[in-house]
């Protein structure tokens, strides 16, 4: 906000035109923009700003939209669109030699950041490259020179998911423009090496794995060093990620190499517990990874009998390597980047002392199992390698609907969500709070979803709101499975990102606004409850009023662990107890699992 008469009524900064008017004139001026009135008011009065500019919401980097910033000896050219200043495809590392740790970028000091860089090698992306270590920055503020620290924006550092085998920071679902402009934060998205190229470890004493994880930390180093040139505060970085990205955030909380490099963390849908979920939170030793994954890879590549196995693997075609039946995609205890087999939540080792906000989708596990082939509960459980003792347990009742296989799926989806997400995510919160590990702790269950179809919509249409004649896009007031990745459009404010994902009702848009405002509030203030004054000053009056009608989100403390420590995120949100505590104990993952 600007005050009169300190600033002239017209100015131009970084290609964006601004006119400032007294608030009593705004409505008239919106009706007749030519009616400019300038009056003198006290300098202490806060006044609104009416901003106009020439770029559209999806503008391409035309010459008249280019912007530039400098940091140390770097000159970086990006462009602007209606939502943010965009710097895409910034190299943060040199092209790494395969199976070595990445090093800081030493190439040209003049960087054209108007196009996304290559994706990392992965199945289904034939254009993927091993020269892929790029990051993207979306910012609402582009300084002309050094700014006072109080003027710098909070930074949100996104780590994509994809099972450590796929994904990219350039995915349009993660476009940071809306988050930057509405949330008044700087958003960074990154690439990191994937699959065997990112996580291979050998029993040679030098090839110790975690290369993709080390890439994430190097990208974080780059951001710490240069983000102030993009308006970001290097001391207010929130690392956040979903699925494998959440596992990465959890690993950063445990990594001595990452301590002190971020101020807050948001792991979203972290996997932990049974089946394949265990490897995301319980780390293999190098010998364990070699036995499980690397020896089969050596056999499949013909490198097992090679005199120099590492050299042999370096010569193997990259796409063929990550397309083998076996892949090395696991975080390991390498002694440098990870020094313990899990995040030491019992107080036995160091943990990053930062603010945390975490949670999961209500039916997260429904995305990771097949639909039952019959209504027989025992068979349905066996089909997905789930505990057989669930059969007949009163803790897991079978619904009485007419669709027997759907009834069975309700049971298997609940059990999978418990043993792969809910139980140990809740246990993480209990241990963290009881041992005072984090500066603050906030926890949620996401109870509204919109799948990122066509990207990820398993067991269709179970993860979709039911469709009927009155609700051709889906009736969100009815029950449906709230599946893995169903929160992403809401958090980033990117719904609808395609014509296939339109608003289903009059709640999708306001809920998306609320979730974006919640995530960015946490990044700015380490409190997910947005400041009503901030919302109203930016014209988000309807959202401010809706937040005011909901119970405040309470952080988790020792005093409320047994009460209602969890935020149930829906329209409207509320505080609730931990879910399925008895079921988790029955399954072997009680709330005190880590304590």
Query: Distance between CA 61 and CA 81 in Å, rounded?
Result: 8
Lowest mean pLDDT among 2-11, 116-125, 355-364: 2-11
For residues 119 and 183, membership in a common domain is answered with yes
Within-domain flag for 482 = yes
Within-domain flag for 349 = no
For residues 367 and 312, membership in a common domain is answered with no
CA 300-160-367 angle, to 5 degrees, is 75
* Per-residue pLDDT tens digits for 160-170: 999 999 999 99
* Per-residue pLDDT tens digits for 251-286: 999 999 999 999 999 999 999 999 989 999 999 999
Q: Is the pLDDT of residue 12 over 50?
A: no
For helices 211-226 and 244-254, give the axis angle rounded to 10 degrees.
70
Residue 367: burial class (beta carbons within 10 Å; 0-12, 13-18, 19+): buried
Secondary-structure breakdown of the chain: helix, strand, coil percentages, each rounded to the nearest 5: 30, 20, 50
Within-domain flag for 194 = yes
Within-domain flag for 338 = no
Q: Would you place residue 537 in the very low, low, confident or very high pLDDT band (cuts 50, 70, 90)?
A: very high
In the predicted model, what is the mean pLDDT of the chain? Answer: 91
Cα dist. 74→67, 77, 281, 301 in Å?
14, 10, 38, 41
Number of Cβ within 10 Å of residue 264's Cβ equals 26
Within-domain flag for 592 = no
Query: Distance between CA 166 and CA 244 in Å, rounded?
Result: 10
For residues 328 and 308, membership in a common domain is answered with yes
* Per-residue pLDDT tens digits for 564-579: 999 999 999 999 999 9
For residues 377 and 444, membership in a common domain is answered with yes
* Residue located via tokens 């880590």: 594
Backbone φ and ψ for 570, nearest 5 degrees, come out as -160, -170
What pLDDT is attached to residue 35?
Answer: 45
**What is residue 293's DSSP assignment?**
I
For residues 521 and 487, membership in a common domain is answered with yes
Average pLDDT over residues 525-544: 96
Within-domain flag for 340 = no
Structural domain of residue 419, as residue ranges? Answer: 355-586
Within-domain flag for 3 = no
Q: Which of 300, 333, 366 is the last residue of a domain?
A: 333
Element (H, E) at 537: helix 532-537
For residues 305 and 370, membership in a common domain is answered with no
For residues 200 and 146, membership in a common domain is answered with yes
User: Left, alpha or beta for 421 (phi > 0: left; psi -120 to 50: alpha)?
Assistant: alpha
SS3 88: strand
For residues 18 and 137, membership in a common domain is answered with no
Query: Distance between CA 90 and CA 220 in Å, rounded?
Result: 13
For residues 489 and 402, membership in a common domain is answered with yes
What pLDDT is attached to residue 375?
Answer: 95
| CATH number of residue 68's parent domain | 3.40.50.1820
The number of folded domains in the chain is 3
For residues 404 and 546, membership in a common domain is answered with yes
Within-domain flag for 350 = no
For residues 273 and 388, membership in a common domain is answered with no
For residues 306 and 391, membership in a common domain is answered with no
């Amino acid at each position: 906000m600007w005050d009169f008469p300190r600033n002239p009524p017209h100015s131009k900064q970084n290609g964006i035109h601004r006119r400032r008017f007294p608030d009593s004139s705004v409505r008239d001026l919106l009706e007749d923009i030519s009616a400019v009135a300038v009056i003198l008011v006290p300098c202490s009065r806060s006044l609104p700003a009416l901003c106009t500019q020439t770029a559209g919401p999806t503008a391409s980097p035309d010459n008249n939209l280019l912007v530039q910033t400098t940091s140390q000896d770097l000159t970086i050219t990006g462009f602007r669109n209606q939502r943010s200043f965009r710097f895409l495809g910034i190299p943060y590392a040199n092209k790494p030699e395969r199976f070595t740790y990445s090093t800081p970028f030493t190439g040209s000091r003049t960087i054209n950041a108007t196009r996304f860089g290559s994706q990392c090698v992965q199945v289904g992306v034939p254009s993927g490259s091993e020269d892929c270590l790029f990051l993207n920055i979306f910012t609402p503020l582009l300084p002309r020179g050094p700014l006072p620290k109080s003027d710098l924006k909070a930074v949100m550092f996104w780590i994509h998911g994809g099972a450590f085998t796929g994904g990219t920071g350039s995915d349009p679902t993660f476009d940071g423009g809306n988050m930057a402009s509405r949330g008044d934060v700087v958003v960074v998205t990154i690439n990191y090496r994937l699959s065997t190229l990112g996580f291979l470890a050998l029993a040679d004493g030098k090839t110790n794995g975690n290369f993709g994880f080390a890439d994430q930390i190097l990208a974080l180093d780059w951001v710490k060093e240069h983000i102030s040139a993009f308006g970001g505060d290097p001391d207010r970085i929130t690392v956040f990620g979903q699925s494998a990205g959440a596992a990465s955030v959890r690993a950063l909380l445990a990594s001595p190499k990452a301590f002190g490099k971020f101020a807050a963390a948001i792991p979203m849908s972290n996997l932990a517990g049974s089946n394949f979920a265990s490897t995301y939170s319980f780390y293999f030793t190098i010998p364990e990874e070699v036995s499980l994954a690397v020896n089969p890879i050596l056999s499949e590549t013909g490198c097992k009998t090679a005199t120099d196995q590492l050299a042999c693997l370096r010569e193997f075609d990259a796409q063929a390597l990550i397309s083998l039946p076996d892949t090395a995609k696991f975080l390991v205890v390498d002694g440098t980047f990870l020094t313990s087999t899990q995040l030491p939540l019992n107080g036995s080792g160091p943990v990053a002392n930062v603010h945390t906000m975490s949670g999961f989708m209500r039916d997260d596990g429904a995305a990771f199992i097949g639909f039952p082939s019959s209504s027989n509960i025992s068979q349905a459980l066996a089909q997905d390698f789930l505990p057989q003792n669930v059969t007949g347990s009163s803790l897991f009742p079978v619904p009485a609907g007419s669709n027997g296989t759907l009834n069975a799926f309700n049971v298997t989806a609940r059990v999978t969500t418990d043993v792969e997400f809910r139980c140990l995510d809740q246990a993480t919160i209990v241990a963290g709070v009881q041992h005072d590990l984090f500066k603050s702790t906030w926890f949620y269950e996401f109870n509204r979803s919109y799948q990122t179809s066509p990207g990820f919509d398993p067991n269709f249409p179970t993860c979709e709101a039911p469709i009927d004649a009155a609700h051709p896009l889906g009736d969100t007031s009815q029950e449906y499975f709230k599946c893995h990745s169903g929160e992403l459009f809401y958090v980033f404010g990117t719904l609808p990102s395609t014509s296939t994902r339109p608003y289903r009702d009059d709640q999708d848009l306001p809920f998306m606004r609320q979730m974006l405002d919640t995530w960015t509030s946490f990044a700015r203030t380490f409190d997910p409850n947005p400041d009503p004054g901030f919302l109203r000053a930016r014209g988000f009056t309807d959202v401010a009023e809706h937040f005011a009608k909901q119970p405040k989100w309470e952080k988790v403390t020792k005093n409320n662990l047994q009460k209602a420590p969890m935020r149930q995120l829906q329209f409207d949100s509320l505080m609730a107890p931990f879910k399925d505590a008895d079921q988790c104990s029955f399954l072997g993952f009680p709330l005190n699992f880590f304590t």
